[in-house]
């Protein structure tokens, strides 16, 4: 199944460039049938279902939910393939819709039908189908950043989305995220939603082979810091006082933490002091604390 839309965008070499178009009049396409094939991807909010479509696998389709996330999609490097919106919200979001290329389909339906097609109401009656296009090159992401969060083994989409929001807030345009091959996709629907759309803006790339490719990070002049509560780790305040110009913060999944190989690859093991008797704090919270101490967005 293929959605008629604007021609596929060309790969973008600038990780912060925007693909938004100039405003134009908004033309909508009413949908009256639950089984209308044109909105089939919007029935597949779970990624396993969405990626059963050939186009989804080939072109990297993903779903963005809600007005705020949609606006951030428009300002990102990713293309919007189609939009599906509650017909009563068209006037409210018309300025944002007008920024789409004129060829981009904008499907509308009554909220009851919209909810039946999407199977949910938490997305505020607005869904956008995005296209990821070619993945960013890890070397290019590393070269442009001054603060990296390097993630190993993340399987929780809430934590991943929160990390992207933290990087956007606390590292700004100097921040980026690298993921090992086993971590989940930042463009999964829930990750994008929890990140408040910042997963569409913070540059990210896969780092492989893992953890040997950490040598690329070190070669670029980053001081690699492994975040861990283990004995022997250095207090984060002491590390922050060193004021390293380029910092790569290695963070592992909750429970297992960083692997022995990842820990061995780091220059320093760093801990956040916490109350005696408490073994750890949430991954996203710990990353936020570390970024606040180590990153310099200004």
- Provide mean pLDDT across the span 157-184: 97
Residues 142 and 263 in one domain: yes
Residue at a domain's end among 81, 97, 131: 131
Whose CA is closest to 272, among 213, 242, 227?
227
Residues 127 and 142 in one domain: no
176 with 144: CB under 8 angstroms?
Answer: yes
Residues 164 and 259 in one domain: yes
Cα–Cα distance between 284 and 166 in angstroms, integer? 8
> H-helix or E-strand containing 62?
strand 61-65
248 with 150: CB under 8 angstroms?
Answer: yes
**197 part of a folded domain:** yes
- Provide mean pLDDT across the span 158-185: 97
pLDDT at 130 > cutoff 90: yes
Residues 147 and 290 in one domain: yes
Q: What are the Cα distances from residue 269, in Å, to 237, 244, 252?
A: 13, 15, 12
Long-range contacts of 70-75 (CB under 8 A, 24+ apart): 70/96, 70/126, 70/128, 71/96, 71/197, 72/196, 72/197, 72/198, 72/200, 72/201, 73/128, 73/130, 73/197, 73/200, 74/18, 74/20, 74/99, 74/100, 75/18, 75/20, 75/201
pLDDT at 196 > cutoff 60: yes
Q: Residue 64: give the domain boundaries.
A: 29-131
Residues 208 and 146 in one domain: yes
- State the pTM of this model: 0.88
Instruction: Read off the pLDDT of residues 37-82 as tens digits, 9 standing for 90 and up.
Output: 899 888 765 545 555 555 666 678 899 999 999 999 999 999 999 9
Instruction: Give Cα 105 distance to the centre of its chain.
Output: 24
Residues 245 and 157 in one domain: yes
**200 part of a folded domain:** yes
Instruction: Give Cα 199 distance to the centre of its chain.
Output: 2
- The CATH number assigned to the domain holding 45 equals 3.30.1330.30
Q: Give the number of domains in the chain.
A: 2
Residues 86 and 150 in one domain: no
**150 part of a folded domain:** yes
* Omega before residue 211 within 30° of 0, cis: yes
Residues 147 and 239 in one domain: yes
Residue at a domain's end among 131, 157, 178: 131
- Provide mean pLDDT across the span 188-211: 96
> H-helix or E-strand containing 70?
helix 67-74
pLDDT at 23 > cutoff 60: no
Residues 279 and 155 in one domain: yes
Handedness of CA 145, 147, 151, 155 (dihedral sign): negative
**282 part of a folded domain:** yes
**13 part of a folded domain:** no
Instruction: Read off the pLDDT of residues 89-120 as tens digits, 9 standing for 90 and up.
Output: 999 999 999 999 999 999 999 998 988 888 76
- The CATH number assigned to the domain holding 179 equals 3.40.1280.10
Whose CA is closest to 18, among 66, 74, 70?
74
**112 part of a folded domain:** yes
**21 part of a folded domain:** no
Residues 173 and 265 in one domain: yes
DSSP symbols for 83-116: EEEEGGGTTTTHHHHTTS-TTS-EEEE-HHHHHH
**46 part of a folded domain:** yes
Which is more confident, 3 or 269?
269
pLDDT at 226 > cutoff 90: yes
**Helices and strands in the chain: count of H runs, count of E runs:** 12, 12
Q: With bands split at pLDDT 50, 70 and 90, how would you rate the model's confidence at 254?
A: confident
3-state secondary structure of 164: helix
Instruction: Give Cα 182 distance to the centre of its chain.
Output: 16
Residue at a domain's end among 101, 116, 131: 131
Residues 127 and 182 in one domain: no
């Amino acid at each position: 199944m293929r959605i008629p839309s604007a021609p596929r965008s060309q790969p973008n070499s600038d990780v912060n460039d925007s693909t938004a178009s100039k405003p134009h009049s908004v033309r909508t396409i009413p949908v009256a049938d639950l089984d209308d094939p044109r909105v089939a991807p919007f029935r597949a909010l779970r990624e396993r279902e969405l990626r059963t479509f050939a186009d989804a696998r080939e072109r990297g389709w993903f779903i963005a939910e809600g007005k705020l996330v949609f606006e951030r999609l428009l300002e990102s490097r990713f293309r919007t393939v189609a939009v599906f919106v509650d017909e009563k919200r068209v006037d409210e979001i018309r300025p944002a819709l007008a920024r789409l290329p004129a060829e981009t389909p904008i499907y509308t339906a009554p909220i009851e039908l919209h909810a039946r097609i999407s199977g949910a109401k938490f997305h505020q009656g607005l869904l956008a189908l995005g296209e990821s296009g070619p993945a960013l090159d890890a070397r290019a992401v590393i070269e442009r950043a001054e603060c990296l969060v390097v993630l190993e083994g993340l399987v929780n989409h809430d934590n991943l989305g929160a990390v992207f929001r933290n990087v956007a807030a606390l590292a700004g345009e100097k921040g980026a995220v690298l993921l090992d091959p086993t971590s989940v996709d930042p463009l999964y629907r829930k990750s994008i939603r929890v990140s408040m759309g910042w997963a569409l803006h913070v540059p990210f790339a896969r780092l492989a082979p893992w953890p040997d490719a950490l040598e690329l990070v070190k070669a670029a002049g980053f001081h690699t810091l492994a975040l861990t509560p283990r004995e022997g780790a250095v207090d984060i305040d002491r590390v922050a006082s060193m004021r390293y110009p380029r910092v790569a913060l290695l963070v592992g999944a909750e429970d297992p933490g960083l692997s022995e190989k990842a820990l061995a690859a780091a220059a320093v093991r760093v801990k956040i002091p916490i109350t005696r008797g408490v073994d750890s704090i949430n991954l996203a919270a710990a990353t936020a604390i570390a970024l606040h101490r180590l990153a310099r967005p200004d």
